Amino acid sequence: MEKFDENDIRYQRAKKEVERLRGFYGHLFAYITVNLLIVWYNYTNLKPGESYFQFTNFFTATFWGIGLIAHAFVVYFPKINFVKRWEEKKIQEFMDKNK
């Protein structure tokens, strides 16, 4: 039977948190980059006298932004995240089962 060192467990948890942060920052970077390109494209293709403030110009930013906010909650508020609790419970079940 393999015994895990407490430092190994802490390292794996810290590594997982860093991966979650990196994933969120990558998502945030993509959101900003793509939406800036969309803003530029929409602005340069306005007809004379047309207002930029139309729903179609904010569609992607709005709905992708909702997804980004959900991603932020998963990363920054893991204590209230039911998925993380479920994962921990399943990990413990498998560890107990394989003893």
Task: Dump pLDDT digits (tens) for 11-58.
Answer: 888 898 899 999 999 999 999 999 999 999 989 988 898 888 888 889
Top-confidence residue, 99 or 94:
94
Q: What predicted TM-score, i.e. pTM, was given to this entire model?
A: 0.70
Mean pLDDT value of segment 51-77? 90
Q: Is 50 inside any structural domain? A: yes
Q: Is 3 inside any structural domain? A: no
How close are the terminal C-alpha atoms of the chain, in Å?
A: 8
Nearest to 57 by CA among 71, 44, 43: 43
Q: Is 25 inside any structural domain? A: yes
Residue 5, both tokens = 């060192």
Q: Which domain holds residue 85?
A: 9-98
Compute the chain's Rg from CA coordinates: 21
Query: Domains in the chain: how many in total?
Result: 1
Q: Is 45 inside any structural domain? A: yes
Burial 19-35 (b: 16+ CB within 10 A, else e): ebeeebeebeeebeeeb
